[in-house]
């Protein structure tokens, strides 16, 4: 058993037992590789993908177009890392990169929160006790 799994088993046996389910193994194979240290997390791969635009000069639409394009590159890179044709650990970080772009997009979305189905545009960054529904549920 992998050292991480054996130490986790003593605290949360269900965290180890779940990996006996073939469907979990199939659907979460990347996560398991990350957990075992045999693959980098995808956010780390995002840091390897350089931007083709200047973050401070692009408008909202250009940022989303760039995100869509680079997300395809991230998927390709992840597949290459998974089948060992590329080493995600050895690649150098780019600057600015896809993770920087994701950060800019999220930070622009938070002031007019639109993450849930209510889309109430609550100022998430300013009001830490913001509620999304009239019933007072977070």
- What's the rounded Cα separation, in Å, for the pair 35 and 24? 14
- In the prediction, which pLDDT does 10 show? 61
- In the prediction, which pLDDT does 82 show? 87
Q: Is the pTM of this model over 0.75?
A: no
Helix intervals (H) in the chain: 3-11, 13-17, 22-27, 29-36, 42-46, 60-82, 98-109
Bridge partners (DSSP) listed for residue 97: 50
- What's the rounded Cα separation, in Å, for the pair 80 and 35? 19
| pLDDT tens for each residue of the chain, 138 residues long | 555 555 555 667 777 788 889 999 899 988 888 888 888 999 999 999 999 999 999 999 999 999 999 999 999 999 999 888 888 888 999 999 999 999 999 888 877 766 667 666 666 555 555 555 544 444
- What's the rounded Cα separation, in Å, for the pair 68 and 75? 11
Tokens (6 digits) for 136: 């007072």
- In the prediction, which pLDDT does 114 show? 67
């Amino acid at each position: 058993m992998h050292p991480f799994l054996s130490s986790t088993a003593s605290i949360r046996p269900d965290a180890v037992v779940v990996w006996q389910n073939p469907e979990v193994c199939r659907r979460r194979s990347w996560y398991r590789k990350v957990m075992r240290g045999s693959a980098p997390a995808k956010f780390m791969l995002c840091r390897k993908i350089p931007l083709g635009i200047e973050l401070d000069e692009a408008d909202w639409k250009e940022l989303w177009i760039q995100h869509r394009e680079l997300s395809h590159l991230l998927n390709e890179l992840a597949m290459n890392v998974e089948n060992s044709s590329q080493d995600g650990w050895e690649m150098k970080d780019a600057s600015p990169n896809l993770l920087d772009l994701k950060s800019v997009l999220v930070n622009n979305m938070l002031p007019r929160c639109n993450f849930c189905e209510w889309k109430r545009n609550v100022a998430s960054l300013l009001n830490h006790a913001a509620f999304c529904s009239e019933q007072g549920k977070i």
